[in-house]
Amino acid sequence: MKKNKIIRCFLVLIIVLTAVGLFAGDGPPDPGGDPEVGGDPPLGGGAPLYGGIEVLCVLGALYVFYKIYHLYKNKKEIEMEQ
């Protein structure tokens, strides 16, 4: 019971600290100049920069399911040995 409470507190602490770090950043700087005037294409070819967060979330969820699966599998093997 006490272990669950410690884990919950740790998870809440991680979530709060992560949220504070995400909102602490400054906005992007003003590029200056006239946007209507031609010039070099934007760096990255106009690729969306926000696409990385979704990939990280999916990979994190897959990792959690992987760990839960192996935990369940190992628990089942121990029960079968007894």
User: Which band of pLDDT confidence, cut at 50, 70 and 90, is reported for residue 37?
Assistant: low
Counting residues of the chain whose pLDDT is more than 90, the rounded percentage is: 10
Model pLDDT, residue 62: 93
Q: Which residue has the higher pLDDT, 52 or 3?
A: 3
Q: What Rg do the C-alpha atoms of the chain give, in angstroms?
A: 23
The whole-model pTM stands at 0.38
pLDDT digits (tens, 9 = 90+) for 18-33: 776 667 667 777 777 6
Q: What mean pLDDT comes out for the span 41-70?
A: 77
